[in-house]
A and B are shown apart, each in its own frame.
Chain A
Amino acid sequence: MLKKLRTSDRALMVLFTVFVLATPLLMAPLGAGYPDLMQRFAIYGIFAIGFNILFGLTGYLSFGHAAFLGVGSYSALWMLKLLSINIVPAILFSVVVSGLFALLIGFISLRRSGIYFSILTLAFAQMSYNLAYSVLTPITNGETGLQLDLEDPRILDNASEGGQLASPSLFGLEMGDTAVVPFLGMDLQFNVGFYVSALVLIGMFYLSLRIFRSPFGMILRAVKSNQTRLNYTGFNSRPYTLTAFVISGMYAGLAGALLVCMDPLAGAERMQWTASGEVVLMTIMGGVGTLIGPVLGAGIIKYFENIFSRINDSVIQDWFSALPDGVADVLVAVVSPFLGSGWHISLGLIFMLVVIFLPGGLVEGAGRIMNLITRLTQARKTASHRSDDRPSDDDVSSEKSSPGSVNTRES
């Protein structure tokens, strides 16, 4: 299947696969190599990739994507409760349900564009959140959140054995199972749930790559660059934007289902506007319209949320304990507002820096570093072979993009 891709895409796909599968090894030194967080990396990566198909390609900024995440979670959990503890029907069902839900919301919201579209989606998401919280309590269990129960009927594989809740599994492979392998003084945790999410992530990344390269993706880009002109040529773009909206809604539903499969609880706060805002942040931070950007952004934000937020004062004091008392106290006082419960502040700062200096997100940053390196090596080459022809000059100039094309260029 890689044969159909361009060479650069094939390399990207292979690299991506290797990095994702090696996450337990890569993340362990960063203190993030435990199943819960790695699962979140993969799942929110899927969520952000899906969001990017809508926002990155068509430029429609949805502020209500968390609603699909929530709908996916609830429908997956109900499948786990009613049908089977196997995650396959749960995932399929939630993708279908969130797709239908996206069709409904997209059909209405896509009648408007720009800020009006954003507000409409935001309104729908807040409505879903409030419904889940109040009127739909019998389905969602409100604030407490929906959970598995010993009395669940589970038609296909009923009877919880020995008064113990069954945990979600893929044909017998339990999501919670972890192999702990000591490696260079670290404990690498290879978790079934993570690898299931990771394989889904890789599949979804491939799908998004194909969408980006397809004629369909081209039309979506045309919508982004000038929808009015597209309409004037007699081309009806709405079916295409609606399709993109539904696809990205299904991605979100899939992410929601995976969240529930890893940890069988669905809470209403998953649909709150802050959750919708989070995926926007992820995408922008990583790079809107780039393939790999959203995954990077999701990883960074989840890392901050789970690791930085757990650094409390006593940990910070440990860092500076070698320094003289006065200096250490000052450093602790300076650093501590940005860590622990203040992790939002440092995330906000980084986000501002990214938006101001790297409007194309981290991917643009990486691109600039790559360019710099190429230029430096180039300079050295030209210095040593002054009279030689410069074979790679063409490549460099083709790498340089015209201003403002950041959003349409893929990494």
Chain B
Amino acid sequence: MSNYYLNRRKFLQGSAVLGAGLVAPTIFSRAASAYTNEPGKGSVVLGFNVPQSGPYADEGADELRAYKLAVKHLNGEGDGGMLGTFSSQMLKGTGILGRKVEYVTGDTQTKSDAARASARAMIEKDGAIMITGGSSSGVAVAVQSLCQDAGVIFMAGLTHSNDTTGKDKKANGFRHFFNAYMSAAALAPVLSEHYGNDRKAYHLTADYTWGWTQEQSMIAATEELGWETVNAVRTPLSATDFSSYIAPVTNSGADVLILNHYGSNMVNSLTNAVQFGLREKMVNGKQFEIVVPLYSRLMARGAGENVKGIFGSTNWHWSLQDEGSKAFVASYGKEYGQPPSQAAHTCYVQTLLYADAAERAGSFNPCAIAEALEGFEFDGLGNGKTLYRADDHQCFKDVLVVRGKANPTSEFDLLEVVNVTSADKVTYDPNHPMFAGGSLGKCNPGA
């Protein structure tokens, strides 16, 4: 039906264009460096990928402040912060391996798609050699696998899901932050001591990887105490009003509400719960209680009065009195006029750990850095003695159980440390069922 018209010249022209298009990318192949984004002599670029919008924007802003501070300290500006207290004394404030540290920033929007696009831009456009950040485990898992494929190191920021170093662990990814299992293991004894062993719990859970593993861990730990789980309800991460989820709690017969929420989710759900008068209620002859397994000062500030007396766990708190924490709080306070949050702390520490690993390895090659970090034991970074376990790239350290302070002395003094659970109490086998199912694979240097 068609008068398909094709003469020799047109055919040749057409196939030349097509051929050029297809072949051009392959004849050069990738640049001749040993690994992705091998830095030049003068400087090295790090990519800080944090949420600047969405439910975790507060944490993201604090992370970014910490990253900027870490870069300053690595480049020898400011007072050096934890560089002085870090047990490995390789970092001298002369950049990393003699190169000045530069950085690029991006907005993850707390969405996996946007976070990966942002990370890819950093790697492809800006030549970032390491990506760090993330304030959501969904994002962290997504970006971690991107970094694995692209052949750069991912230093996870605030990500608390078991999966990040469990079923979704990757050889190029490392996590300093603690996880849901550790939170539950640290909280359980304290909950048992204060609330007894005969309780009925109702869970509200953020509906994504972190929420799921947090809920699973808390249910496992509390049921071991003898608690009963009445119900576990999933709520969308983007939700801002939780009244419709809180209302059913009052008639469920539960006497403990466990909020597996973080960031503004937690602020809103806790506020709703208090508005519904849950904290004044008596159920089954017991005072109704609320537990927030993962706590942060930023959230406590957001929730205001409502956090008083509520238990939770945290990775680090600025009131700690060890040398590392004091140095960091002083340095951060001088820069920004407020104490750092746990998100800021873990991000700062991750940057230092990366820089130190590069110094010890003598190279920016992701495989060399991974080797330097695996099984690395260190101290002086605010958490006491810490181990970067080689089996899953997870840090093992003490976990803090905290409670909302009854009489805060300042707008920052909102949490009190109730108990420091030692690292051995929260250590688990790498093949624990909650973490099983994935494998690290092999480190990928890209290129």
**A interface residue numbers (CB < 8 A to B):** 1, 3-4, 17, 21, 31, 34-37, 40, 133-134, 142-145, 147-150, 160, 162-165, 167, 173, 176-181, 189-192, 195, 198-199, 263, 265, 267, 269-270, 306, 309-310, 312, 341
Query: Are B441 and A150 in contact, with the CB atoms below 8 A?
Result: yes
Query: Are A306 and B52 in contact, with the CB atoms below 8 A?
Result: no
**Which residues in A have their C-beta under 8 angstroms from that of B114?**
269
Given the known A-B contacts A176-B149, A265-B145, are A145 and B113 also in contact in the complex, defined by CB atoms under 8 Å?
A: yes
**Which residues in B have their C-beta under 8 angstroms from that of A199?**
18, 21
**Which residues in A have their C-beta under 8 angstroms from that of B444?**
164
Contact with A269, one of B105, B111, B137 (Cβ below 8 angstroms) = B111
Given the known A-B contacts A192-B25, A195-B25, A267-B111, are A180 and B208 also in contact in the complex, defined by CB atoms under 8 Å?
A: no
Nearest residue, chain B, Cβ from A147: B145
Bound-state Cα–Cα, A133 to B209, Å: 12
Most buried by B among A35, A36, A148: A36
Bound-state Cα–Cα, A160 to B4, Å: 44
Given the known A-B contacts A163-B439, A265-B142, are A177 and B113 also in contact in the complex, defined by CB atoms under 8 Å?
A: no
Q: How far is the CB of A52 from chain B (nearest CB, A)?
A: 23
Nearest residue, chain A, Cβ from B105: A312
Contact with B207, one of A21, A134, A149, A310 (Cβ below 8 angstroms) = A134
Bound-state Cα–Cα, A148 to B141, Å: 12
In the complex, per-residue mask of B114-153: 1 if CB is within 8 Å of any chain A CB, else 0: 1011101100110000000000011001100110111000
Query: Are A142 and B442 in contact, with the CB atoms below 8 A?
Result: no
Q: Say yes or no for B62: interface residue by CB 8 A criterion.
A: no
Given the known A-B contacts A165-B441, A190-B25, are A144 and B142 also in contact in the complex, defined by CB atoms under 8 Å?
A: yes
Kindly list 19 other residue pairs between chains A and B, CB separation below 8 angstroms, not including A167-B149, A269-B112: A17-B17, A21-B17, A40-B117, A134-B236, A143-B237, A144-B141, A145-B138, A164-B442, A165-B441, A177-B29, A179-B27, A180-B31, A189-B124, A191-B25, A192-B26, A199-B18, A265-B146, A269-B111, A341-B53
The A-contacting residues of B in range 1-31, CB under 8 angstroms, are 2-5, 17-18, 21-22, 24-31
**Which residues in A have their C-beta under 8 angstroms from that of B29?**
177, 179
Bound-state Cα–Cα, A323 to B148, Å: 43
**Which residues in A have their C-beta under 8 angstroms from that of B142?**
144-145, 147, 265, 267
Query: Are B208 and A36 in contact, with the CB atoms below 8 A?
Result: no
Q: Say yes or no for B390: interface residue by CB 8 A criterion.
A: no
Nearest residue, chain B, Cβ from A35: B124
Query: Are B113 and A36 in contact, with the CB atoms below 8 A?
Result: no
Query: Are A3 and B28 in contact, with the CB atoms below 8 A?
Result: no
Given the known A-B contacts A35-B124, A341-B53, are A306 and B117 also in contact in the complex, defined by CB atoms under 8 Å?
A: yes
Q: Say yes or no for B106: interface residue by CB 8 A criterion.
A: yes
Q: Say yes or no for B234: interface residue by CB 8 A criterion.
A: yes
Bound-state Cα–Cα, A309 to B53, Å: 12
Q: How far is the CB of B171 from chain A (nearest CB, A)?
A: 7
Query: Are B30 and A177 in contact, with the CB atoms below 8 A?
Result: yes
Bound-state Cα–Cα, A145 to B110, Å: 12
Query: Are B234 and A134 in contact, with the CB atoms below 8 A?
Result: yes
**Which residues in A have their C-beta under 8 angstroms from that of B112?**
143-145, 265, 267, 269
Query: Are A178 and B25 in contact, with the CB atoms below 8 A?
Result: yes
Bound-state Cα–Cα, A145 to B142, Å: 8
Given the known A-B contacts A177-B30, A179-B29, are A3 and B3 also in contact in the complex, defined by CB atoms under 8 Å?
A: yes
